Copies of this chain bind each other. A is one copy, B any other.
Amino acid sequence: MARSPTSQRLAETAIRLFNERGYDETTVDDIAARAGVSRSTFFRYYRSKEEVIFPDHDALLAKVEARLRASTADTAIVAICDAVRIVLAHYVEDAEVSLRRYRLVGRVPALRHREIASVARYQRLFREYVGDWLAGTPDAALRAELMASSVVAAHNQVLRGWLRAGGSYDPFEPLDHALQYVIRTFRHLENLEGPGDDQVVVAAFPRSASPDDVMDAIRAHLGSRQ
């Protein structure tokens, strides 16, 4: 599935021209001519002028889906975090391309729409996965939607920050930091099944409760565990 040299050449030519003259000012004819092929050939490799900017979203989407499928309910959160890392890694691998695309997309509304649409596909994927995971629990669909949107939002926030900074640092640490928020939100939304592996949320009390009230209640509760 290695990309053909012609396809590669077309993509590079296109991006160069888009940056030189602007997206709207560059016609498909220009790209094809400069790449030394015919217009027909361009449309053979890319279904549209926009697609030349977003080549392998399908492949990436498939990778994400594969990672999610390769998990059981116990490891759902791990699978989700892994999947998000896969996506971010994809951008980081081709930092050069990602950055050029980022600048381009920021300037061209049509491309921005396209990008947003492709993000929606990831969100949908996560939503379906989480929906299956939560199936049967109350408000499963709603919570799946919220969880999926959080995952995607966290990823996008980290990615955008990294891109804005010109890809000048390792974004996986911020990603894990962001995912901590998401995981806590998950736990929170998931609270029917109790807390997770390494943390036990102990209690919540009316603010009016005195420290002694709190201590008493906790002592009583812990008593049943000893």
Q: Does A11 contact B (CB under 8 A)?
A: no
Binds B, one of A21-29, A87-95, A200-208: A200-208
Residue of B nearest to A197 (CB): B207
Count residues on chain A whose CB falls below 8 Å from chain B CBs. 52
Interface of A is mostly: helix
Select A201's contact among B112, B182, B204, B206, beta carbons within 8 Å. Answer: B204
Q: Does A77 contact B (CB under 8 A)?
A: no
Contact B206 A146 (CB under 8 A): no
Q: Does A36 contact B (CB under 8 A)?
A: no
Q: Give Cα A205–Cα B184 distance, bound, in whole angstroms.
A: 14
Contact A141 B157 (CB under 8 A): yes
Q: Does A44 contact B (CB under 8 A)?
A: no
A175 to chain B minimum Cβ distance, whole angstroms, is: 11
Residue of B nearest to A211 (CB): B222
A107 to chain B minimum Cβ distance, whole angstroms, is: 16
Contact B189 A199 (CB under 8 A): no
Select A116's contact among B117, B148, B152, B218, beta carbons within 8 Å. Answer: B117
Contact A205 B202 (CB under 8 A): yes
Select A141's contact among B143, B161, B207, beta carbons within 8 Å. Answer: B161
